């Protein structure tokens, strides 16, 4: 992938991000899975974040993304998890608990793409999915 550019900056900021539903419940299947995929694609496009590769597994999500340098990873993840929760509950109100409003767990895993090649991370993400639950991102 080539470098991106802003008005006075050339950049290539890629991150491998993994996050899970609260209590790692296996909720991400069927129509919910497809809806979450679309929600994440939409929210990333709003912030000009490019999804290089991604996968919605039954109990976690893998993303390889290019985040512009003017946007921190933590602020992007706060935005992504917060807005996606509201959008998921609008589409699937049955997933919402009356005691706990959070859909995603508090933390997430993030690593920069540098020591590993982009192809190695793409291959790793693609191998995470089960055969019957495969949905492509692009």
Contact of 35 with 88, CB cutoff 8 Å: yes
> According to DSSP H, which parts of 62-102 are helical?
73-91
Element (H, E) at 121: helix 118-128
| Nearest-5° Cα angle at 116, 80 to 50 | 30
Structure tokens at 14: 């890629």
Please state, in angstroms and rounded to a whole number, the distance separating the CA atoms of residues 122 and 24. Answer: 23
- Size (the chain), residues: 138
Query: Which residue is catalytic, options 29, 79, 89, 124?
Result: 124
Look up 109 and say whether it is catalytic: no
CA 71 from chain centre, in angstroms, equals 15
Task: Tell me the catalytic residues.
Answer: 124
């Amino acid at each position: 992938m080539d470098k991106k550019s802003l008005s006075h900056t050339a950049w290539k900021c890629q991150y491998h991000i993994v996050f899970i539903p609260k209590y790692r419940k296996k909720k991400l299947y069927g129509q919910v899975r497809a809806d979450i995929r679309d929600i994440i694609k939409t929210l990333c496009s709003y912030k000009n974040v490019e999804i290089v590769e991604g996968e919605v597994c039954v109990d976690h999500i893998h993303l390889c993304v290019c985040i512009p340098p003017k946007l921190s990873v933590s602020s992007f993840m706060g935005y992504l998890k917060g807005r996606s929760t509201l959008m998921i509950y609008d589409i699937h109100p049955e997933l919402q608990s009356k005691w706990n409003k959070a859909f995603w767990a508090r933390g997430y895993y993030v690593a920069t793409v540098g020591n590993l090649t982009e192809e190695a991370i793409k291959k790793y993400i693609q191998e995470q999915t089960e055969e019957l639950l495969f949905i492509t991102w692009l």
